[in-house]
Structure 1
Amino acid sequence: MNMAVIGMIAGMALGFAGYFGGFGAFLLVAALGAVGFLVGRFLEGDLDVGDLFRPRGDRRG
């Protein structure tokens, strides 16, 4: 599945949450989506947990 389809699905999920559940549900779905994204990147090996807590100047690039 390409990134455009994934983005479309995420946008639709946020839209439904905002419409049916209000702004609080919209924020909850967005936050859980971000957490899921980070966990997925970590499990694939694309993300090092230390990168999230290091200052910008110390990051490898």
Structure 2
Amino acid sequence: MSMAVVGMIAGMALGFAGYFGGFGAFLLVAALGAVGFVAGRFAEGDLQPGDFFRPGERNRDNERRL
């Protein structure tokens, strides 16, 4: 599934939450979507827990390799 389709589905979910549940539901769906995105990136191996605590170190390692 392309990222455009995933973005469209996420936008539709947020729209439905905002329309039927109000602004609080919109924020809840957006926050849970962000948590799910980060969890998915951890599961795929794209993120590591240290990435949140050492923000610039990963970029410096990539510059050294070039």
TM (norm. structure 2) is 0.84
C-alpha deviation, 1:30, in angstroms: 0.2
RMSD: 0.9
Identity percentage of aligned residues: 81
Q: CA deviation at 1:52?
A: 1.1
Aligned equivalent of 1:60: 58
The number of residues matched between the two structures is: 59
Deviations 1:25-47 (A, max 9, x none): 00000000000000000000000
Give, in angstroms, the shift of residue 5 of structure 1.
Answer: 0.1
Unaligned runs of 5+ in 2: 60-66
Larger Rg, first or second structure (1 or 2):
2
Cα shift at 1:4: 0.1
Structure 1: runs of 5 or more not aligned: none
Q: Which residue is 2:64 aligned to?
A: none
* Whole-angstrom CA distance in 1 between matches of 2:45 and 2:34: 17
Q: How does 1:1-61 map to 2 (within 5 A)?
A: 1-54=1-54, 56-57=55-56, 59-61=57-59
Cα distance in 2 between the residues matched to 1:53 and 1:34 = 18
